[in-house]
Amino acid sequence: VALHLARNGLDVVGIDASPHMLARLRDRLDGDDAKRVRTVEGDVRDFDLGGERFDLVYCALSSFELLTKTADQLATLGCVSRHLAPGGVFVAQLRSPVHVDWSAGPSPLVLEWTRIDPATDETVTKLSSSAPLRAEQCLRYTEFFDRTDATGAVRRRVFEVALRPVGRFEIELLLAGAGLRLAHVYGDADLSPYTDDSDTMVIVAELS
Ligand SMILES: C[S@@+](CC[C@H](N)C(=O)[O-])C[C@H]1O[C@@H](n2cnc3c(N)ncnc32)[C@H](O)[C@@H]1O
């Protein structure tokens, strides 16, 4: 997202808690893009970019779901609201909660993709599984990365993360708690309407 914005002539500040993710972004920047993108290692729940104010604050790829506590969601939205310029907007791409499978029972292991790592020639396969924690309104998402070498030997790394999907009216209340007003809800980045069939929910909020 940062690269796309920079290539369209916008100045971007990218925040991530992971120095590795920021390094990956910087590795892909060259020329004018590199001048337009600044990376900041920080926590979205507690960031302060001095007096800087932005016309757009964007939370991509359902990353808001990584905030599994109401206090963390509100702290993040509070930081967003303090960094919006007058007339600026906060946009978040969220998963539609309607499309989350909350049913109990065995969680299928899904093969997400298989790629060759050009650095090692190993085959890398990503599998994942998502189990509902219904009383917590969370999903336990487990990712398995399998590296298969030329001999067929497999090395597996496993990561686990909790995700909290939010509903359209819940996000509206959270925004209000942080001094923001929900202005639009779309079903996708193409600004189509949010309907029963939407997988995604794109919300646009302004300072209230
Ligand atoms: C779904 S990924 C988004 C990917 C990444 N920003 C990109 O564009 O490829 C979620 C990202 O959120 C970061 N993250 C998780 N919790 C965070 C927090 N509290 N503050 C800042 N970054 C956080 C993770 O390090 C991860 O890179």
Q: Which residues have C-beta within 8 Å of that of residue 48, sequence separation ≥ 6? A: 79, 82
18 CA distance to ligand 1 centroid (A)? 7
% residues pLDDT > 90 (the chain):
92
Contact 96, 119 (CB under 8 A): no
Which pLDDT score is estimated for 92? 98
Q: Evaluate if residue 128 carries a pLDDT over 90.
A: yes
Name which of 57-71, 90-104, 148-162 the model is least confident about.
90-104
Which pLDDT score is estimated for 99? 85
Characterize the bridge pairing of strands 180-186 and 154-163.
Answer: unpaired
Q: Evaluate if residue 97 carries a pLDDT over 90.
A: no
Start-to-end C-alpha separation, the chain = 26
Which pLDDT score is estimated for 32? 86
Is 162 in a helix, a strand, or coil? strand
**Ligand 1 proximity of 46 Cβ (cutoff 6 Å):** no
151 CA distance to ligand 1 centroid (A)? 35
16 CA distance to ligand 1 centroid (A)? 5
Which pLDDT score is estimated for 56? 97
Flag whether the pTM goes above 0.85: yes
Q: What is the pLDDT of residues 165-202, one digit of tens each?
A: 999 999 999 999 999 999 999 999 999 999 999 999 99
Q: What is the mean pLDDT of residues 99-118?
A: 92
Which pLDDT score is estimated for 62? 93
Q: Evaluate if residue 105 carries a pLDDT over 90.
A: no
Pocket-testing residue among 5, 13, 16, 200, ligand 1, by greatest number of atoms within 8 A of Cβ: 16
The residue type of 159 is F
Q: Which residues have C-beta within 8 Å of that of residue 100, sequence separation ≥ 6? A: 132, 139, 165
**Residue 43 pLDDT level (bands cut at 50, 70, 90):** very high
Cα separation, 95 vs 196, in Å, equals 13
Which pLDDT score is estimated for 104? 85
Which pLDDT score is estimated for 46? 97
